[in-house]
Structure 1
């Protein structure tokens, strides 16, 4: 069943943190609220922020690569973001956010867009280079979905090394 377009993003000019994710999921689409699902709970925990801080668009902008829920694939997983969305609108929106000092590049689509040639061949390699990318104001992360529980178990350094620095940066910017 095809859904009507429902762009789900939040941003205001004063935001200093940008969450660059893939595309809204089903619950985000239904509620017109980004990360309104268990992955959002995990992301807020990773960041060390309350719901109120997370959804304060004057402080944190949430601008996915695809603005609308892309639907499901044959196996029930979310389809990738629509390819036309980011090239058509992303740069224009980001120009309206001049105060961004930290970009959380969540998942491969956001990492390829924001890191360009500095993005490695795999998500793991890209995230392992987090210190170098952070020098440029971009912190690559995996998606906080339960589907990445295996990745998180295989890469415990993400929790012990990356998350403390992420939380420290977030607190400084808020």
Structure 2
């Protein structure tokens, strides 16, 4: 199956993998250490922090199970939307307070910028365009539980693609 307008030369290939994996790979491919302020080599992509986590920073993308209204126009237009949470964790010795200049804030700002900059161009991986649009919805810091040194923030966004049959 191809996404986009049939026969127009702008077809999108079928999504080859889980949307979480697709966005994680996209983020890893375009990560810029200088602009983000945090070196990619210091980030553990794709996992939640646990006792075995050695990196100070963790970024994990999760799809939100959300059944929002999505137009489906009788086999002529089928929209697929994926609502996603981008979790960012930072380990810090400051247990109960957020300290100035935390990299978690820098990473959140950078990822929001990536989403906004790729709003209309979507996600291209390996020369193939799989997601048509990205939309920033919101997000912010998550209250941290007692006795932990992990600080947590979430970015909420939507990935959209669609199948349009223009042959009839």
Q: Please give the TM-score of this superposition, normalised by the length of structure 2.
A: 0.26
Q: Radius of gyration: which is bigger?
A: 2
Q: Which has the larger share of helix?
A: 1
Q: Which has the larger share of strand?
A: 2
